[in-house]
Structure formats: C-alpha cells, structure tokens
Amino acid sequence: MAILPLVILPDQRLRLVSEPVGSVTAEIRRLADDMLETMYDAPGIGLAAIQIGVAKRLITVDTSKEENVRRPQVFIDPVITWASEETRGYDEGCLSIPDYYAEVTRPDRVRVRFRDLDGAEREIEADGLLATCIQHEIDHLDGVLFVDHISKLKRDRVMKKFAKAAKRDAA
Ligand code: K1U
Ligand code: ZN
C-alpha cells in the first residue's frame, strides 16, 4: 500500500471525465488499497481515483463516526439509480481544494449501483453524510467539483485564490 500525492486545484486533470474500470483486476485492488491509505492519511471521508491522478471510475468512502473504527467502502463504476426529492445542505470540503468549505445542497437519499472488489454487482441505499459523500465523489468521476454547486461569485474567488497559489509555488 502507498500514500500517493493529491491532485490540487487548478490542476485540469480534476476536470476529466473518468473511464469505466471494467474488470476488477489485481491492479484495481491495489489502486483501491492505495486510495484508502491516501484517504485515511489526508484525512478524508472520501476519495475519487482522479484525485491521485488516475482517471478511472473508482471511489473510496468511510463516513464511520465511531472512534478507532474503520468502515472502508469501495465503489467501482458507481451509478446513482435514484435520488430523493428531499434535500439536505452540508458544509462540504475537498482534499483537492484544501482548507475551503462551503454549503452544498444535494438529495438527502440516493440509491447507488456499483461493483465491489470481488466484481459482484451491488446496489445500496444511502442517506445523510454517506449519501452526500457518495454524490461528491461521483461528481469527481465526471469532472465536477463541489464549488460548481455554489454561487459563481464564491467559485470565481476560490478558483482565483488557487490559481495564484499555484503560480507562486511554481516561481
Ligand atoms: O473527495 C474529497 O475531496 C474528500 C472529501 C469528501 C467530502 C467531504 C465532505 C462532504 C462531502 C464529501 C473530504 O473528505 S474533505 C475532509 C473531510 O470532510 C473530513 C476530514 C476529516 C474528518 C472529517 C471530515
Ligand atoms: Zn472532493
């Protein structure tokens, strides 16, 4: 297992639409292990493969609130098959946009179809923070960031801040 460097805004790889995984090989299981280790190290409650530079439709999530208890979940080629009309607002963050948080409103409950690490087809219904996190991660697979769900004024401000920081770091 390895802790891998995170892709940070304004890196344009974050805007890529990731490719389906297809069959679950040893390489994919290794990628999932590396993503989990990177997510726990950050620390974060979710991670999409593109955040470590791999444009494949694979996400990891752990929204367990119990101290010292890990409940890692891996979703391969996830698809939202149903979303509730009821919504919830949550102050979201993103490991690719460090130290920036903003409220995003999304469906409160979703049903997600995906494959697990054994390649088995599964479907779950998620609510609360798990539902929010899964939607945030699936957005990453389509090149969408949580700041795309906030006002243009706030988004332009955060985009400018990260573009300036990248220029400063490159100098
Ligand atoms: O995808 C990512 O960038 C990870 C992101 C997931 C997420 C957070 C909040 C709402 C939706 C999705 C994070 O994990 S940011 C860090 C974070 O929220 C956190 C870190 C440590 C403890 C608790 C939360
Ligand atoms: Zn994110």
Question: 60: which strand partners?
Answer: 47, 74
Check if 65 has its Cβ closer than 6 Å to any atom of ligand 1. no
pLDDT tens figures, 116-157: 999 999 999 999 999 999 999 999 999 999 999 999 999 999
Task: In whole angstroms, give the CA distance from residue 16 to residue 56.
Answer: 10
* CB-based neighbours (< 5 A) of ligand 2, an ion: 94
Query: What mean pLDDT value characterizes the chain?
Result: 97
Closest C-alpha residue for ligand 1 atom 16: 44
CB 112 within 8 A of CB 75: yes
Determine whether 127 is exposed, middle or buried from the number of CB atoms within 10 Å of its CB (0-12, 13-18, 19+): middle
Asked if the structure places residue 59 within a domain, the reply is yes
CATH number for the domain harbouring residue 73 = 3.90.45.10
Does the pLDDT at position 30 exceed 90?
Answer: yes
Asked if the structure places residue 6 within a domain, the reply is no
Question: Confidence band (pLDDT; 50, 70, 90) for 67?
Answer: confident
Which residues span the domain enclosing 138? 12-170
Among residues of the chain, what percentage have pLDDT more than 90? 95
The reported pLDDT for the residue numbered 171 is 84
